Chain A
Amino acid sequence: MRASSSRRALSGGAVLNAQPKRSIWRQIWIKRWCYLIILPGMAYFILFKYVPMYGIQLAFKDFNIAKGITASPWVGWSNFELLFRDREFFLALKNTLIISYMQLLLFFPFPIVLSILINEVKPMRYKRSVQTILTFPHFLSWVIVAGIMMNILANNGAVNNLLATMGVEKYNFLTDKGLFRYILVFTLSWKEAGWSCILYIAAITGIDPSLYEAATIDGANRWHKILHITWPGILPVVLITLILRVGSMMDAGFDQVMNLYNNTVLDVADILDTYIYRITFQRMPNYGFSTAVGLFKGLTNCILLLSVNAVCKKINGTSII
């Protein structure tokens, strides 16, 4: 049976090699079902990601809504000059980087550790229950989470009512600039850690069980198995998610910050996305200026992505490009 299959393969290979080179259209036709599946995705990216790039020129124009994009006059770099003179922009940039790094340092490792811990749980029913409970908050919108945080931390919220009952003075947690970024990391971890685990648990599941069996025979304990089998097994996945995360460092979580922040913590909470939203939709709109901020953010993300990708490729051979 095996010999017969091998012969067919060899013979097929020889036939393939002997065939004249097929046109690209012919190849597409042969794999048409695969391309059909790709088509809507490509259409989505072309329509909603590439076509709107036409609007990037706004960053170099004094946009007049009556004239439209094309007829509005070019102003060179003046929107960027305005940008680099704007105190709020630098504040937003600083906050974006700080919040992103905090998320990278405090949140990013959390689901990795969590998935390893879940993997070590032996009773299957308990393991699945834990996983389901941890995954559930992902399906709550940030509006709901913000409402929950208000109910917990506001002056007449649960925590303060508890403090008052114990005779302790109430504290305005939500106006404390020092606490706000930690509240962001905490809520992100609570909401997304379970969901992020799925990827790592899948990677752990893909590790050959015979490796663990061999390690057990060799006298390895749990810690040894995690360190020498599980961790190397999921490392490529960790690196890819790291590359993607760093590639979106300038996105510190619009939905989350928008719903949780308020004017009392604006100095430490205003990120580039909320800044763009405010200058575009909550003030006198200056679309050229807003586009300049967006373009700056996009380019920076792109540079970060390529840099981290190159570093990972050099160190580990893992990359996405």
Chain B
Amino acid sequence: MKTRLFALFLALLLTLACVACSAPASQAPAKEQEPAAPAEENQEAPVVENDNEFAEHVTFTMNTTSDPPAENDALWQYYTDKFNFSVDWIPLQYAERFDKLRIWIATDDLPDVVWIGLNDVIYSEYVTWMNSGMFAEVPSLDAYPNIRAMYDQESMLGDELCTFDGKLMSLHAMRDSAPYDFMLNMGIGYRADWAEKLNMRKEGDVYTWDEFMDLLQAFIDQDPGGNGAGNTYGLCTRMGYFPDILGIWQTNPTPWTFEEPGYIEMDGQYVWYPSTDSYIEGLKTVKGLYDRGIIWPDNVIDSSETLYRELYVAGQVGAMAQNLTLSWVSQVRDDMLEVDPTLDREKIYAIAKVSNPGTEDEFYQHAVASYWSCVAFSLKATDTQKDRFLATQDWNLSQEGVNLGLYGLEGTDFTVNEDGSINLLWKQDETGTYLDPYTFREYYTRLSVYDNAANFTNASKNPQDVEDVRSAMDWSLANIGDKVKVLDYVQTYTTTPNKDKLGTFTAQTKAKVIDLLANSTGDAIESEWRTWVAEMMPQVQPVLDDLNAYEYIPSDPKEMMEWVRNDGLSQYR
């Protein structure tokens, strides 16, 4: 009897194990993840009465690479009560956003509402998916006037990009960043306090390429941070932005592509950018820095996405290149001051304006698309789910929604002064920094608009940081604004058999760059690069042939945007 019971128990156990292991990923509840910091205990959600149109409670699944709002966040509760909905979050690591999406599509397991980190890595696939009917059409935007108005901005491209056969297939999160449209402030933050110590700081933090590299060399040699011999590094960045963000735009063709090296128009024809002389010049520049020891040596092997930042915060690196957004700058400064409160906030991560190595009067700036990411609906999403999601996003774009997203509830979290300015009622710490009582605003309110510029009027932000970042962006706009181009929507939002299958060879290019930086010796990098390019060309050429068969190859951004507005894309989809 014992044996039989044991056998039965064992069989049940193994069966349960099999069933447990085969549970689809989308069923993994968000609650299993580490929750975001809870709101203060005394914070209670105000009671909201639902409008009649939201009488039916709606739940949908949705992926996110950010921390989902905590279940007990008072503002999130207010928001979900107002619209009578809830979200089963599917948390993702940022680095796996494409992998997981591909798996979900391949296994027909998409969330109801799908956030897509749309950029050049995935454009061709996006076009294929939308063309193939893998996603559901977005309902007419007539019922959502704020979203409609957002897409109707004249300076931007919006729904033209995501309309296939007359059907709107996704919602792009438009960048609301006037007057800095199409300009993402990429650049280098550095230890101005160290530079002052060495008497090498320049007025306004404006440096020529050579001046700045000499400064970094001095950081390494003279060790103003007192780290000890061999323990101070010059320049570091996140692997994904390496090496172009170091200021060497030759390794990323700023005009006409986005984020990664791809195909660019030259003399009316598309060419593969890594095969150009300009790219090789950039590569040699990076190699020179790497060999001099200015670039943090582990940058070529760091895949952690965080280690470079930790090194900078720990005071071991003289400069760090990144997106110079307000939130990034503030966070770095906050973290450094937490380690050492005696440091000077303005000087620990000052924004350097460093000219390009090839042209001393030009400065690195990244061109961006008119949007950041998009949201689409899976085929299994119901009309009610779609409507509820769109209703929330439409409200997010209203002034009431914007204020809720930025500050919270009027009367409780802020009041509006007579001149329209905001009087924030949040608690402040001993340094005067406002303490955000909510976990809510980080994600959900930014799904339809990426309001980077709005941060400059955000009363909760540190005034010093706002001033520093805004002045850096104003300086960029004044000096190089006319040189910042926009994304080549023709190349990226169209489909050809070979482009769809082979892409831009970005991963291979990046891998080879990093390999040669670490392993090539001296001047051999140029010949080794050319050899590799020659080996790659048989694979690349079919894509170029496809692209060059287009009747319209853009050479002027304004003309191209007009072409897209006039439905030019449809002929190549």
Residues of A within 8 A of B (CB): 33-34, 36-37, 39-41, 43-44, 47-48, 64-66, 87, 150, 154-156, 161, 164, 170, 172, 174-175, 177, 262-264, 266-267, 278, 280-287
Q: Is B11 an interface residue (CB 8 A)?
A: yes
Q: Please list 28 pairs of residues, one from A and one from B, whose beta carbons are closer than 8 Å in the complex, sorted by A's number.
A: A33-B3, A33-B8, A36-B7, A37-B10, A39-B11, A40-B17, A43-B18, A65-B105, A65-B106, A156-B233, A170-B230, A172-B297, A175-B301, A263-B301, A263-B512, A264-B301, A264-B514, A264-B515, A264-B519, A266-B511, A278-B507, A281-B102, A281-B103, A282-B99, A284-B125, A284-B501, A284-B502, A285-B125
B11 touches A37 (CB 8 A): yes
Q: What is the chain A residue whose CB lies nearest that of B129?
A: A65
Measuring CB to CB, which residues of chain B are less than 8 angstroms from any residue of chain A? 3-4, 7-8, 10-11, 14-15, 17-18, 22, 98-99, 102-103, 105-106, 124-125, 128-129, 132-134, 228-231, 233, 296-298, 300-301, 303, 311, 316, 500-503, 507-508, 510-512, 514-515, 517-519, 535
Report chain B residues within 8 Å CB of A287.
Answer: 106
Knowing A37-B10, A65-B129, A264-B514, say if A154 contacts B301 (CB, 8 Å).
yes
Residues in A with CB closer than 8 Å to B18 are 40, 43-44, 47
Contacts of B233 in A (CB 8 A): 156
Q: Within the complex, which residue of B133, B301, B316 is in contact with A262, where a contact is CB–CB below 8 Å? A: B301
Instruction: Assess whether B132 is in contact with A64, with CB atoms less than 8 Å apart.
Output: yes
Q: Please, how many angstroms separate the alpha-carbon atoms of A284 and B134 in the complex?
A: 17
Does A66 contact B132, Cβ atoms closer than 8 Å? yes
Contact of B501 among A36, A282, A286 (CB under 8 A): A286
Pick the residue among A66, A164, A263 that contacts B511 (CB under 8 A). A263
Q: What are the residues of chain B within 8 A of A283 when measuring CB–CB?
A: 503, 507-508
Residues of A within 8 A of B296 (CB): 155
Closest B residue to A64 by CB, please name it: B132
Q: How far is the CB of B107 from chain A (nearest CB, A)?
A: 10
Shortest distance in angstroms between B189's beta carbon and chain A's nearest beta carbon? 20
Give Cα A91 to B11, complex, Å.
44
When the two chains form their complex, are residues B300 and A175 in contact, meaning their CB atoms are under 8 A apart?
yes
Q: How far is the CB of A173 from chain B (nearest CB, A)?
A: 10
Residues of B within 8 A of A263 (CB): 300-301, 510-512, 514-515
When distances are taken between beta carbons in the complex, the residues of chain A under 8 Å from B3 are 33
Residues in A with CB closer than 8 Å to B303 are 262
Q: How far is the CA of A36 from the CA of B515 in the complex (A)?
A: 54
B298 to chain A, nearest CB (A): 5
> Across the two chains, which residue of chain B brings its CB closest to A279?
B507
CA distance A284 to B503 in the complex (A): 6
A263 to B311, CA, bound (A): 21
Other than the given A40-B15, A264-B517, 11 more pairs (CB < 8 A) read: A37-B14, A43-B18, A64-B132, A156-B233, A156-B311, A175-B519, A281-B98, A283-B507, A284-B124, A284-B500, A287-B106
Contact pick for A37, options B7, B102, B519, CB 8 Å: B7
Of all chain A residues, which has the CB nearest B300? A264
What is the chain A residue whose CB lies nearest that of B122? A284
The 5 closest A-B pairs by CB, nearest first: A66-B132, A40-B14, A284-B503, A263-B514, A264-B518
CB distance from A179 to the nearest CB of B (A): 12
C-alpha spacing A161/B171, complex, angstroms: 51
Among B10, B11, B105, B230, chain A packs the most CB atoms within 10 A around the CB of: B230
Known: A33-B3, A177-B519, A263-B510. A40 touches B11 (CB 8 A): yes
From known contacts A66-B132, A172-B297, A262-B301, infer whether A33 and B14 are also in contact, taking CB-CB under 8 Å: no
| Chain B interface mostly | helix
Complex CA gap A164/B316 in Å reads 15
Known: A40-B11, A175-B519. A66 touches B133 (CB 8 A): yes
Chain B residues lying within 8 Å of A262, measured Cβ to Cβ, are 300-301, 303, 514
- Which chain A residues border B519 with CB–CB below 8 Å? 175, 177, 264
- A87–B512 alpha-carbon span in the complex (Å): 14
On chain B, the residues within 8 Å of A285 by CB distance are 102, 106, 125
A156 interface neighbour in B231, B502, B503, B510, Cβ under 8 Å: B231
CA–CA, A159 to B65, complex, Å?
Answer: 35
Cβ of A293 to closest chain B Cβ, rounded Å? 16
User: How far apart are the CA atoms of A39 and B16 in the complex, in Å?
Assistant: 12
Report how far A91 CA is from B203 CA in the complex, Å.
52
Q: Point out the residues of chain A lying under 8 angstroms from B502, CB to CB.
A: 284
Residues of B within 8 A of A44 (CB): 14, 18
Alpha-carbon distance between A64 and B133 when the two chains are bound, in angstroms: 12
Question: Does the CB pair B507–A282 fall under 8 Å?
Answer: yes
Q: Which A residue's beta carbon lies closest to that of B539?
A: A86
Distance (Å) between the CB of A216 and the closest chain B CB?
Answer: 41
Residues of A within 8 A of B15 (CB): 39-40, 43
B125 to A66, Cβ gap below 8 A?
no
**Alpha-carbon gap, A284 to B495, bound state (A):** 13
CB distance from A210 to the nearest CB of B (A): 32
CA distance A280 to B125 in the complex (A): 13
Closest to B16 in A: A40
A222 to B411, CA, bound (A): 87
Chain B residue at smallest Cβ distance from A40? B14
Min CB distance, B169 to chain A, in Å?
Answer: 13
Residues in A neighbouring B133, C-beta threshold 8 A: 66
A residues within 8 A CB of B103? 281
Complexed CA–CA distance, A263 and B240 (Å):
12
* In the complex, chain A residues whose CB is within 8 Å of the CB of B132: 64-66
A277 and chain B: residue at smallest CB distance:
B99
Q: How long is the Cα–Cα vector from A257 to B235 in the complex, in angstroms? A: 28
How distant is A169 from chain B, measured CB to nearest CB, in Å?
Answer: 8
* A287 to B103 CA separation, bound complex (whole angstroms): 11
Residues of A within 8 A of B300 (CB): 175, 262-264
Which of A161, A172, A284 is within 8 Å of B518, CB to CB?
A172
Shortest C-beta distance, B28 to chain A (Å), equals 18
Provide the bound-state CA to CA distance between A201 and B503, in Å: 53
| Closest chain B CB from A165 CB (angstroms) | 9
Chain A nearest Cβ from B164, distance in angstroms: 13
With both chains docked as a complex, state the minimum distance between the C-beta of B331 and any C-beta of chain A, in angstroms: 23
Report the nearest A residue to B11, measured CB to CB. Answer: A36
Q: Please measure, in the bound complex, the distance between the C-alpha atom of A172 and the C-alpha atom of B518, giving whole angstroms.
A: 9
Distance in angstroms between the alpha carbons of A150 and B18 in the assembled complex: 35
In the complex, what's the smallest C-beta–C-beta distance from B224 to chain A, in angstroms? 18
Chain B residues within an 8 Å CB radius of A161: 231
Q: Quick check: B125 and A164 within 8 Å, CB to CB? A: no
Residues of B within 8 Å of A284, CB to CB, are: 124-125, 500-503
A75–B345 CA distance with the chains assembled, in angstroms: 63
Max chain B Cβ within 10 angstroms of own Cβ: one of A64, A177, A263, A278: A263
Residue contact B535 to A87, C-beta cutoff 8 Å = yes
B10 cross-chain contacts in A, Cβ below 8 A: 37
- CB of A32, distance to nearest CB on chain B (Å): 9
Q: Which residue of A lies closest to B242 (CB)?
A: A263
Query: CA–CA, A65 to B303, complex, Å?
Result: 31
Q: Are the C-beta atoms of B301 and A156 separated by less than 8 Å?
A: no
Residue ID in chain A nearest B133 by CB atoms: A66
Contacts of B129 in A (CB 8 A): 65
* Distance (whole angstroms) from the CB of B50 to the closest CB of chain A: 39
Cα–Cα, bound, A87→B505 (Å): 14
Q: How far is the CB of A260 from chain B (nearest CB, A)?
A: 10
Contact B7 A33 (CB under 8 A): yes
Q: How far is the CA of A150 from the CA of B300 in the complex (A)?
A: 13
Task: List the A residue with the shortest CB-CB distance to B316.
Answer: A156
Q: How far is the CA of A304 from the CA of B500 in the complex (A)?
A: 37
Is A47 in contact with B503, judged by CB distance below 8 angstroms?
no
